[in-house]
Amino acid sequence: MDFIIRTPRVPTPGETLTVHSFDTGFGGKGANQAVACARLADSDIKVSMVGNLGDDGFGADYFEALKREGLDSKNVRSLKGEKTGISTIIVDDDGENRILFAPNANYAISPEESKDWELVPEEADVVVFQLEIPSRVVYHNVRQASKKGKHVIFNPAPAELLPEDIYQHIDTLVMNETESSILSHSKSGTPEDIAQHFLSKGIKDTVIITLGGDGLVYATKAGLKGRLAAKKVKVVDTTAAGDTFVGGYAVQRAKNVGKDFEYEKALGFATLAASITVQRRGAMDAIPKRDEL
């Protein structure tokens, strides 16, 4: 669940500041990306969400929200005695956001490898991962999905250094500029250089680095590369822009399984969807439907 605070600016240490507004909403990177997939997909694409909720009121409300989106939620578990994960999102007058994440039920997974760790649906062709459940569980499932021939899309957020072997199990690595700097141990070099750096680590298909208002760069194992400009729009709130982009890209991948993939067409679709999201307030509420593009 998202607790969203809109403020003219971020307060300084020790300062009390009166803000513009406070709202609650459904969020979380995985759920935002799943909802983006569901809203942006063709009717023949099935979207399934995998994750944990608490057995509190937030969790009950969340199940109803997922049903309304037409998502398959049979792999979303309600955990007795746990609280649903929350994020506090602070949005300033420039539309920039700062997020504080309390995992709660997201992290309520066995500390030792077990059946509890097996999360990837067998029927999935494309699987999207983030890092809002324990990273060791994510890495296990990335490896399993890769071995089963699924297209693995990995969005390393919240960002952390990845095990060196994990790159060879990722088909598409998509991250923003900050995340790419953390993962590459470097704040120097052009985004194009950093994309090539990650390809050299073993990424199987594509590296995408989103640059906010400056668009994105991408590079592929096959040697394709380029830069796409962002849509020029009035930015209100960037909270779910990255999640919308990932969802838009994922449905293009799912739509083209077994076919030649048109990278710039897919990236343009995802960029257009994200450009609509940033013009709206909220996280999940801001994600557009396919007929709005």
Quick: pLDDT tens for 105-153.
999 999 999 999 999 999 999 999 999 999 999 999 999 999 999 999 9
Q: Is 223 annotated as a binding residue?
A: no
Assigned superfamily of 29-82+110-292: Ribokinase (3.40.1190.20)
What is the SS3 assignment for 118? coil
Quick: pLDDT tens for 66-88.
999 999 999 999 999 999 999 99
Say what the alpha-carbon torsion angle 31, 160, 227, 30 is, to the nearest 10 degrees.
0
Bridge partners, 126 (sequence order): 151
Cβ–Cβ < 8 Å for 168, 135: no
Q: Is 291 annotated as a binding residue?
A: no
Q: Is 70 annotated as a binding residue?
A: no
Quick: pLDDT tens for 179-203.
999 999 865 789 999 999 999 999 9
Active-site amino acid positions: 243
Q: DSSP alpha helices (H): ranges in 167-237?
A: 177-184, 191-200
Nearest CA to 208 out of 197, 199, 195 is that of: 195
Q: Is 51 annotated as a binding residue?
A: no
DSSP letters, 46-109, are --EEEEEEESSHHHHHHHHHHHHTT-EEEEEEEETT-PPPEEEEEE-TTS-EEEEEE-GGGG-S
Q: Is 268 annotated as a binding residue?
A: no
Alpha-carbon distances of 94 from 10, 68, 83, 87, 170, rounded to whole Å:
11, 32, 32, 20, 34
**pTM score of the predicted model:** 0.92
pLDDT over 80 (residue 242): yes
The domain limits of the chain are 29-82+110-292
